[in-house]
Amino acid sequence: MTRLGLLALATALPGMALAESHMAEGAGGALSYGERPFFLIEAMQDGPLKDKLMSCQGQSPERTAFSIAHRGAPMMIPEHTRQSYVAGARQGAGIVECDVTFTADHELVCRHAQNDLATTTDIVVSDLGAKCTSPFTPAGEGTEAAAECRTSDITLAEFRELNPKMDAADKTATTAEEFQGGTAAWRTDLYVDGTQLMTHAESIALIDSLGADFTPELKAASVEMPHDGFSQEDYAQKLIDEYKAAGIDPSRVWAQSFNLDDIKYWIENEPEFGAQAVYLDDRYEAEDDDEGLIDPMDPSSFKPTMAELAEMGVNYIAPPMWMLVTTDEAGEIVASPYAEEAKAAGLKIIAWSLERSGPLAAGGGWYFQSVSDVIDDDGDTYAMVDALAQDVGVEGIFSDWPATVTYYANCMGL
C-alpha cells in the first residue's frame, strides 16, 4: 500500500498507525492487508463486532490457515495465475488453492474447470481456437455468443502459449475479440497483462516458496473417463504423486473433490493424504427426483448422513457458505441444522467463498441466499465471517480477496 493510501485510511479510521503496523515480513515478501478490510469495517453498523475489529487496526499481519486463497486473489487478478497466487499469499492466506485438471497429454494444470479456457484465456483469439471442442460462434438473433475450449483439447506445450484474462465473456459479442470482454464492474482488468498460467507442479513449488500450504481440487473431467487410457483413479493418484515428488509433507495438503469416490480413493490408497481430504458438498444441486438432494435446514434429507460420512473416514466437509447459516428470530446469522449435524458427527468444516458476490447491497446473491434478508451492504461481510467463525466454528474460509479473512483471523486470534 502507498503511504498516501495509508494516510487516507488513517483519516478515515482515527488512531490507525502507519505502514509498519499494516505490513509484516513473511516468506515471499511483506504481508499486507491493503485497504479493503478497513473499507468493510468502516461500512459496518456500530456494535461490539465493529468495535473489536477497529481495535485491531494497528496489528501486524500474520499468515493464518484460517484464510484460504480461493484460486489466488481473483477479485482483481486473473485466477490460477502466478501473480494471483502471490497476491493471495501476500494477503496472509495460509493455504492457497490450485484447481487441478488435465491437458490432452494428461499433464496437470491449474484451471477452475477443464472447459473454461474460452473465458479465462485468450484461446478464442489465438491460432489454438480452431482446436476448441466448440470454437467461437457469434451472437445472433435469439442466440448468445458461445465457445467451449477444454484443456484436454490441447497439449501442455500449447497450454503454455495462452495468456490469462479475468474470467468473463461478452455474450452479445459478434467477434471473438469482443467475446474477450464482459468483466464484472466490481472486478478489474488492470492486472491482466503479464500474468502467467501455472501447471500443478509449478504451483506446488511457488506456494511452498511463499510459505503457504496447499488445497488442490481435483476437478470433474469434461471428457469421458477413462480418457485415452487415463482413468479417474490415475488422475486422483497423479495429483497426490506430484506432492510426493516435491517432498511436501501430507499434513500440509488438503486435497479436495466434489466426487465422494475421489475422497474414498485417497482415504484407502493414500491414507496420510486422505486424512485431510476435503469432501466438497454440492448435494444442493441434485435434481428434485434425485435421492442425493439435501435441504440444509432438514437433517432427515442428508444422504449419506454426516455420521455415515465420518464412518467412511471423511474428516473434512466443505459446503458453500449459505448452507452453513440461517437467521434466528432476532435476525442474527446463526449456524444451520446442516452445520450442527456436521459438528455433531465430528466433521471439520470449511466454507466457500467470501468476496465472490460483488457489492452486497442487493442481499449478496447466491453465496448469501440463506441470510439475504439481513444482508444490506458490504459491512455485512464481517457479520457473515463472524457467524462462520464463532457460531459454526469453521476451520477456514475461502475468499477471492484473502486479506478480508486474514484481518479477522488475526484480530480474533484464530
The DSSP line for 18-72 is -GGGTEEEETTEEEE--SHHHHHHHHSPSSHHHHHHHHTTTPPP--EEEEEESSS
98 grid coordinates: 490450485
Q: Is 276 helix (H, G, I), strand (E, B) or coil?
A: coil
Peptide bond into 226 cis (omega under 30): yes
pLDDT (0 to 100) of residue 27: 52
Residue extent(s) of CATH 3.20.20.190 domains in the chain: 3-111+197-412
pLDDT (0 to 100) of residue 285: 80
pLDDT (0 to 100) of residue 10: 35
Q: Is 351 helix (H, G, I), strand (E, B) or coil?
A: strand
Structure pTM?
0.93
pLDDT (0 to 100) of residue 287: 56
Strands 396-399, 348-354: parallel, antiparallel or unpaired by DSSP? parallel
The Cα–Cα gap between 390 and 348 comes to 14
Peptide bond into 353 cis (omega under 30): yes
CB 189 within 8 A of CB 166: yes
CB 376 within 8 A of CB 362: no
Apex CA 11: angle with CA 10 and CA 17, to 5°? 15
The Cα–Cα gap between 341 and 337 comes to 6
pLDDT (0 to 100) of residue 16: 31
Q: Superfamily assignment of 3-111+197-412 in CATH?
A: Phosphatidylinositol (PI) phosphodiesterase (3.20.20.190)
In the chain, the amino acid numbered 307 is: A
Place of cell 479417474: 232
- Per-block average pLDDT, block size 10, for the chain (414 residues)? 34 33 58 98 97 97 98 98 98 98 99 98 98 98 97 98 98 98 97 98 98 98 98 99 98 98 98 98 73 86 96 98 97 97 98 97 96 97 98 98 98 96
